[in-house]
Amino acid sequence: MEVTRFKKIYLLFLYFFANLFLEFSFQILTGHSIFQKGIFFIIFSSMCIACLFTLMTVFLPKKMQRIFIIMNLFLLGLWFSIEFYVYKMFGFYFNFSLLSATGQVLEFTKDGIQLILHNFLGIIFFFLPTVLAIIFYKKIPILKANWIEAYFYIVFGIFCFSNFHLLLYLPKQEEYELFYEVNNMELTIQKMGVLSSLSLDVKRTLFGFNEKIHFDLSNPENQDSLEQEIVYDSQYLDYDFDTLIQNATNSNIRTMQEYFKNEKGTLKNKYTGMFQGKNLILFMAESFNEIAISEELTPTLYKLVHNGFVFNNFYTPTISSTIGGEFQELTGMVATSGFLSPWKSGKNSFPFGIATSFEQKGYQTFAYHDNSIYFQNRNQYLLSLGFHNFKGCRNGLEKLMDCNHWPASDIDMINVTAADYLSNQEEKPFFTYYVTVSGHGNYDWSGNFIATKRRKQVENLPYSEKVKAYLATQIELDRALELLIQKLEEAGVLEDTVIALVGDHYPYYLSMDEINELSNYQKDSVVEVNKSNFILWNSEIEKTEIDKVGSQIDVLPTLYNLFGIDYDSRVIIGKDILSTEPGLAIFENRSWVSDYGTYFSSSNQFILKEGKEVDENYVSYMKQVVQNRMNMSKMIMENNYYQYLK
């Protein structure tokens, strides 16, 4: 009798220790400590899942029980593996809102296989419980349970579940916010484990989730916007938010109207209209980062970075890889949870989309990409922004250049497309958007055409092989820009053209050690790894240094202000970097950098910048600002909010 009871409890603890082993292995392999407060959340969630699995197992026919146990362990190992390898490849964790990004995953299957081979320890750990269950298949206890025993599993599961939630309230701190108020997959996994985040993600996917919105934030006194000698008008359009609120039939839309009504937006400034009537060439540069800048190796990039407007504290937060970076650059919103599906569909309304806005100013608009136009539905979402003549590989560009190499050449793209907008530029100014691909990983000498092409120019540098291959790809971008400037000069429009460029994300195919080989200071893996450059250059303007913090989401309103495009600064989440609004860069796990310091969400640590002072309520205030901006970005996309402003 005692042996029988032990066997039944043994099954419960088999599941429990398997869950615990997977959780601890995951935290260690992703570089996080298991000795933190989150260990208690991991223990209770592991036991809850163990109770559920045990209850499901013991009521199955005896012949199916062992197969069911192995299947459960296999599925757990598979899920932990998916989270681990997605994080290793793209720098973010998988959640169900990213299912529409499967095209991106499949596109880089070869890179994924190489990643698995280089991180094979993950496969060993995550499938070890499954392998052991197969080896000791016949020793796994098989017993039928009665309803009294089932009652025990239910009660014990409820006990663990209750203790899990009790921890959220004692004390009511960050874990409580993660579970009830915000949607932050990365931080939830770090602080509460993979199984907790999985259950939370399933619940929110099935039943929806709206984050808490903080209205009427009290701005600490020392954080007032910078004063200007001249009083400028607000950067507003004539929206009657009172009427919009009154007419809103959807509660989410009403909440958003109220939020934007209370936003103060930004003011116009001395730079407003500075580039009005000039041509604009805007780049999203694949894996471009400040570590690629070298006066000897990439002289054109060096010239553009250190002249014109020079932004000393600019970041390209890596969220959802390339598509997230492009979304942030072109919409002025944070690529937070919920953006991907509506963005890729191209069905959301963007009445002040970037191409539409420039067309309304009398510009000709062009867009080019030296990879497939169908990848991640780029042909659809660019159309929603007003790009009606987007040309790339598979809709015409392949007839003009070689699109079969991986990655293709940015030089070739510039060479075969520049005539489109330079041949008739005397009639109207032009706005051209380029998405480059030459800088793409994997960085090696066998599978990367561009790296191999430029190998001789970097092979004697004192860096590791992957770092040299990365630099080789950035040389291609540099020479493409050199060619572009040459063509602009030959066409006589260089002085009337502005070149703007930001990266989509940091080069995450490199490890942190490899990135720090090139950095002139030690970068961390959350914030400073994303520090980069925003090139905003015209041959005729004097060098102007801007120390305010900015990021990709600030590019759109900054360009609108400079080119004299009317927009409403309240309904764009990013802010004009040249305005008096304090700077802010937001990262995926809700860490942030402001003009006053850096906040790391995983450790709840704020590091004050030298020479700065802040109010005691500053950090809590800024956390609410970050939460609002991320939440509004999500709600704008999920509710197609901009259609209500038409």
Q: Using the Cα atoms of residue 108, residue 113, residue 117 and residue 123 in order, give the sign of their dihedral.
A: positive
Question: What are the pLDDT digits (tens) for 48-106?
Answer: 999 999 988 888 888 889 999 999 999 999 999 989 888 887 777 887 766 655 555 55
Question: What are the pLDDT digits (tens) for 511-548?
Answer: 999 999 999 999 999 999 999 999 999 999 999 999 99
Question: What are the pLDDT digits (tens) for 633-644?
Answer: 999 999 999 999
- Helix spans in 491-563 (H): 512-518, 555-562
- Helix spans in 170-298 (H): 174-180, 185-192, 194-207, 241-247, 251-262
pLDDT of residue 222: 52
Model confidence at 2, in pLDDT bands (50, 70, 90)?
very low
pLDDT at 164 over 60: yes
Beta bridge partners of 597: 608
Question: What are the pLDDT digits (tens) for 288-323?
Answer: 999 999 999 999 999 999 999 999 999 999 998 899
Domain segments of the chain as ranges: 2-207, 221-227+247-270+280-645
Which residues fall within 8 angstroms of residue 138, CB to CB, at 6 or more apart?
A: none
Amino acid identity of residue 216, one-letter, is D
- Decide yes or no: CATH 3.40.720.10 for domain 221-227+247-270+280-645: yes
Q: Say whether 349 sits in a helix, a strand or coil.
A: coil
Amino acid identity of residue 430, one-letter, is F
pTM of the model: 0.89
pLDDT of residue 227: 53
Query: For 323-337, what is the HEC assignment?
Result: HHHHHHHHHCCCCCC
75 membership: H or E segment, kind and range: helix 62-90
Q: If 0-12 CB within 10 Å is exposed, 13-18 middle and 19+ buried, where does residue 393 land?
A: buried
The CA distance from 105 to 119, in Å, is 17
Buried-state track 209-225, b at ≥16 Cβ within 10 A, e below 16: bebebbeeeebbeebee
Percent of the chain's residues with pLDDT above 70: 92
The CA distance from 557 to 126, in Å, is 45
Amino acid identity of residue 38, one-letter, is G
The CA distance from 551 to 458, in Å, is 30
Compute the chain's Rg from CA coordinates.
27
Instruction: State the chain's mean pLDDT as an integer.
Output: 90
Question: What are the pLDDT digits (tens) for 250-282?
Answer: 999 999 999 999 999 999 999 999 999 999 999
pLDDT at 488 over 50: yes
Q: If 0-12 CB within 10 Å is exposed, 13-18 middle and 19+ buried, where does residue 460 land?
A: exposed
pLDDT of residue 186: 84
Specify whether the CB–CB gap between 494 and 488 falls below 8 A: yes
Is pLDDT larger for residue 225 or for residue 605? Answer: 605
- C-alpha angle 366-530-354 in degrees, rounded to nearest 5: 25
Specify whether the CB–CB gap between 472 and 453 falls below 8 A: yes
The CA distance from 279 to 291, in Å, is 29
Specify whether the CB–CB gap between 441 and 419 falls below 8 A: no
